[in-house]
């Protein structure tokens, strides 16, 4: 699994590198503003799974540090989505 820099999507040579180095892509936006999705759409970067965390987890965006519980919830959610996309079973 590779993690890419979201703003780099607008750099032409970086898009080519991202496409070459990944078979599947998951895009994670933190909130409903969909900043990542807009960058991907503008760059015409295909995505296999899109996650918008506030809707998926039923939480509201807040200007405060997240709790450990929320961090764990986000981690588990994204981990499950990655495993589902790759056709693997999560290891506990």
Q: How many structural domains are present in the chain?
A: 1
Residue 33, domain extent: 23-86
Answer whether residue 29 is part of any domain: yes
The pTM of the full predicted model, rounded to 2 decimals, is 0.80
- pLDDT score recorded for residue 91: 65
- pLDDT score recorded for residue 37: 93
- Report the distance separating Cα 60 and Cα 48, nearest Å: 25
Answer whether residue 3 is part of any domain: no
Answer whether residue 71 is part of any domain: yes
Answer whether residue 6 is part of any domain: no
Are 86 and 24 spatial neighbours (Cβ–Cβ below 8 Å)? yes
- pLDDT score recorded for residue 7: 81
- Report the distance separating Cα 57 and Cα 89, nearest Å: 21
Answer whether residue 73 is part of any domain: yes
Query: Distance from CA of residue 16 to its chain's centroid?
Result: 19
- pLDDT score recorded for residue 8: 83
- pLDDT score recorded for residue 66: 80
Query: Distance from CA of residue 70 to its chain's centroid?
Result: 16
Query: Which parts of the chain have pLDDT scores under 50?
Result: none
64 by Cβ neighbours in 10 Å (0-12 / 13-18 / 19+) ranks as exposed
- pLDDT score recorded for residue 9: 84
């Amino acid at each position: 699994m590779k993690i890419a820099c979201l703003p780099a999507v607008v750099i032409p040579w970086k898009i080519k590198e991202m496409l070459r180095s990944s078979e599947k892509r998951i895009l994670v936006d933190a909130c409903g503003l969909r900043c990542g999705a807009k960058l991907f759409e503008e760059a015409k970067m295909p995505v296999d799974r899109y996650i918008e965390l506030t809707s998926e987890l039923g939480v509201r965006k807040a200007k405060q540090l997240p709790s450990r519980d929320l961090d764990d919830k986000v981690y588990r959610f994204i981990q499950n989505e990655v495993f589902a996309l790759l056709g693997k079973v999560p290891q506990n």
